[in-house]
Structures are given as structure tokens and as C-alpha cells.
Amino acid sequence: MGNINVRRIPDEVHRAIKAQAKAHGRSTEEEVRIILARAVMPRDEVGAGDLLWSIWDGVDLPDSAIRRDKTPHEPIDFE
């Protein structure tokens, strides 16, 4: 397994992670591992959009071209 050393974490973030770890009954290190894994690993959960799409999947709708856009979205830039 690899190791990562993250420097200059803001104090408020560090405190929040420690509090979250304590609330979950885990060490801070384990909490960070879980946070990282959830952030980068694909989820097996079915989202609301997938559920709604499954309602119409396979239905023959003449004169309509319903296609799901699977293009990744770009985050909004508020600046």
C-alpha cells in the first residue's frame, strides 16, 4: 500500500476530520482513508437519474430521440 503525506491542511479542516472520525468511532487516519476512497472510487449505488432513465429504457417512442448525455459536467465557476 502507498503512503501520502499531506502538508498544510487548514486547522479547521483538520479539526473537522478529527471530530468526524471520533463520531464514527475511527482513527483520524482511517477516516481520511475512507474520505479519499469515496472521493475517487466509483460507487455501486444507483443514482436518481439512472432510476428515472430505467423507467423509459427499452420503450419505443416513435418520432423522439431521447438520448442520455453521459458527458462529465464541469463545475460552476463563480468567479
pLDDT digit string (tens) for 24-44?
A: 999 999 999 999 998 898 777
Domain membership flag for residue 50: yes
Could you give the C-alpha distances from 29 to 1, 39, 54, 62, 74, in angstroms and in order?
14, 15, 39, 55, 31
Any domain includes 71: no
Report how many domains make up the chain: 1
Q: Is position 24 within any domain?
A: yes
Q: Is residue 64 part of a domain?
A: no
Query: Where do the H-state alpha helices sit in 1-79?
Result: 11-24, 28-40, 48-56
**Which domain, by its residues, includes 15?**
11-56
Is 18 among the domain residues? yes
CA angle centred on 10, ends 20 and 5, rounded to 5°: 85
| CATH number of domain containing 27 | 1.10.1220
pLDDT of residue 9: 94
Distance CA 36, CA 3 (A): 12
pLDDT of 18 reads 96
Single pTM value for the model: 0.54
- Residue ranges of the chain with per-residue pLDDT less than 70: 62-66
